[in-house]
Amino acid sequence: MGKDFRASLFALLVDVGAPVGGYYLLRAFGVPSVWALVLSGLPPALRVLYTAVVRRKVDGMGLFVLAIVAVGLVTTLMTGDARLLLVRNAWFSSLAGVWLLASLFVGRRPVTYEMARALLPGRGERLDEAWDSRPSFRRAWRVLAVVWGVGGLVHSGISVTMAYSLPVDDVPALDTVLGIVFFVLLQVVTQVVLFREGTLPRITRPASARR
């Protein structure tokens, strides 16, 4: 089991498992739903702070997580409304969706392409060559920006609907399941689009295998 895999698994447990499990554990001990939501949202923020202090590394996503937690805490102190906290994931999905769609018109390349480039170190030059020379390659990443952008907005809409129509204690688990389903579905669509375009597998293949 590689170091990167362990780090990813730990991040998944802290960012997804701990908030959901923590919420229901706190509720089992009689903690009010509002404060259970606030406290169960702290593990991801603490992970970001740990990374910032120990590794001296803070990225935009980490800052966004801290901002969401801070807004949730302020909202709780001001309103005491648990349902406003339930839609915190919807805030992320909405902003991400708008950001992805806006990148089709602002900037030279969509966010989907830039994220893929960041996740494939050492292959940036080959990716850029494909971007410059293949219209189908550019079209694939623009299609994926639309797919992920619209997917984020749809996910946000469903999350908000659940938060305001279902019992509070049902929403954290259902919203987590919804997020996983959307992520898997969008990943499947992404792989299909890239497979049909056909360029990315050749770029990411080791040089010896491309001969």
23 plus 36 within the same structural domain: yes
pTM of the model: 0.81
Domain range for 74:
1-86
Residues 6+ apart with CB under 8 A from 166: 174
Same domain, 93 and 188: yes
Give me the phi and psi of 198, to 5 degrees please.
90, -10
Other C-beta atoms lying within 10 Å of the C-beta of residue 12:
11
pLDDT of residue 186: 94
- Tally the domains of the chain: 2
Q: Judge if 176 and 97 occupy the same domain.
A: yes
| Last residue of one domain, picked from the residues 55, 86, 117 | 86
Q: Which amino acid appears at position 125 of this protein?
A: E
More confident site: 67 or 194: 194
Is residue 75 domain-shared with residue 122, that is, in the same domain? no
In the prediction, which pLDDT does 13 show? Answer: 77
On whether the CB atoms of residues 15 and 44 are closer than 8 A, the answer is yes
**Terminal Cα distance for the chain, rounded:** 30
Whether residues 103 and 62 share a domain: the answer is no
Q: What tens digit of pLDDT does each residue of 31-60 get?
A: 999 889 888 888 877 887 777 777 776 655
Say if residue 58 is in the same domain as residue 94. no
Q: How many CB atoms lie within 10 A of CB 19?
A: 21
d(CA 191, CA 206): 19
What pLDDT does residue 35 have? 87
